[in-house]
Amino acid sequence: MSDTIVSTGTIAAAVQSGELPARVWMYSNYHCNLACSYCLTESSPRSERRQLTAEQMIAVAEQARELGFTALGITGGEPFLLPWLPETVLAMAEHLPLVLLTNGTLFAGDRIERAAALAHPDVALQISLDSHLPDVNDMARGPDNFAKVVEAVPRLLARGVRVRIATTTGGPLDSPALSPLQHLVASLGVAEADHLIRPIVRRGRADEFGLGVQAVARDIPCELTITGDGAFWGSFGPTVRSGRLDTDLLLTRTILPLAVPANALLGVLRGMPEGTDARLGIR
């Protein structure tokens, strides 16, 4: 299955037909100023950086468009720890619209202006907020996380930055217990459609602590994901456990040209039985 040869036109056709998911994710880096208990990548200020370069990220964006993908995502680690991030994101947005995941805690005072530079119609910041109760939110995500996020979101919106809120929950996705949080998010100025609620995935540190839903490979959503260590099946693929990168969802070590991992992903998809799409509501 891995030796399926597919032309670049085939990737575009597969994206258009919905066979291949339209978004390409990138892990810009693995280190983070926080160390959340459920972190899929065991990120912390001390973790290995596993960085992509700015040049690689822009090349992925350009080649993703050429191949026929239609959207990009950037995650980490905390991408805003990279000094060159804002200008790189803007260069990438020249090619495709993108969503940038951030913990939203690095925007105090004047530092907001780094993020404000990303006021662009094709760039959205996705910030995590897990509870309307500061203590509950901060238990998993660290001290003062709640206060920093609640302060940053309206300031970003006021500067014209598109903001989405992502909530990771250990409970049911439709629990009424989430409604105070939904109200809070709305009061910050974020539209309901821009509030994503998703389950904890039991990989990385969440696995060590026994949290989350057990995600076996084929239940994990498929979206081509590029890291400094190679290309993966999905954005929940390149997780870290006990300091070691999970390789079960590795597609290829080659990341550029992007056609190499894109073809490998399509090859795996075509070797798979029907109906193996995500049933866990993981996004």
Partner 1 sequence: MRDDGQMPRVDLFDLDHAPITVQDYFTVGDPGPIVAALAAVPELMAPTLGFIGAALGPGSIGVRYKEFAILRTSVLQGCSYCIHAHTTVSLDAGLSNLEIRALRGEVALEVGFPLDDERALIGWIDALAGATGPIPDDVWHAAQRYWPQHSLVELTVTVGATMFLNRFATGFQLPTAPHVTERLVAAGMA
Binding residues vs partner 1 (CB under 8 A): 1-3, 217, 233, 246-254, 260, 264, 267-268
Q: Which distant-in-sequence residues (6+ apart) come within 8 Å of 45 by Cβ? A: 31, 32, 33, 35
Nearer to partner 1, 4 or 169 (CB): 4
Q: How far is the CB of 115 from partner 1 (least distance, A)?
A: 35
Q: Which does 1 bind (CB under 5 to 8 A by kind): partner 1, ligand SF4, none?
A: partner 1
130 binds, options partner 1, ligand SF4, none, Cβ within 5 to 8 A by partner type: none
**Least separation in angstroms between CB 49 and partner 1:** 20
Among ligand SF4, partner 1, none, the one that 113 touches (CB under a kind-dependent 5 to 8 A) is none
CB half-sphere exposure, 59, CA atoms < 13 A = 11
Residue 253 contact among partner 1, ligand SF4, none, beta carbon within 5 to 8 Å by kind:
partner 1
Name residue 265's amino acid.
Answer: L
Query: Is the Cα torsion angle 193, 195, 199, 203 positive or negative in sign?
Result: positive
Please, what is the minimum distance in Å from the beta carbon of residue 20 to partner 1? 15
| Smaller CB separation from partner 1, 12 or 217 | 217
Residues near ligand SF4 (CB under 6 A): 32, 34-36, 39, 41, 43, 76-78, 103, 141
- Contact assessment for residue 86 and residue 119, using Cβ atoms and an 8 Å cutoff: no
- For ligand SF4, give the closer residue by CB, 27 or 69: 27
Rounded alpha-carbon distances, angstroms, from residue 75 to 29, 62, 173? 8, 18, 22
Q: Which does 247 bind (CB under 5 to 8 A by kind): partner 1, ligand SF4, none?
A: partner 1
Which option in ligand SF4, partner 1, none does residue 72 bind, with CB closer than 5 to 8 A by kind?
none
Q: Which is nearer to ligand SF4, 33 or 70 (CB)?
A: 33
Q: What is the DSSP string of 13-81?
A: HHHHTTSS-SEEEEE--S--S---TT-TT---TTS---PPPHHHHHHHHHHHHHHT--EEEEESS-GGG
Nearest approach in angstroms of CB 212 to partner 1 is 19
Residue in the structure block whose two tokens are 């805003």: 80
Query: Closer to ligand SF4 at the Cβ: 141 or 148?
Result: 141
In sequence order, the 6+-apart residues with CB closer than 8 A to the CB of 215 are 201, 202, 203, 236, 280, 282
Angle value at C-alpha 174, between 172 and 179, nearest 5 degrees: 115
Cα 47 from Cα 50, distance rounded (Å): 9
- Closest CB to partner 1 among residues 88, 263: 263
Nearest alpha carbon to residue 146 among 19, 34, 259, 280: 34
Q: For ligand SF4, which is the closer residue by CB, 68 or 228?
A: 228
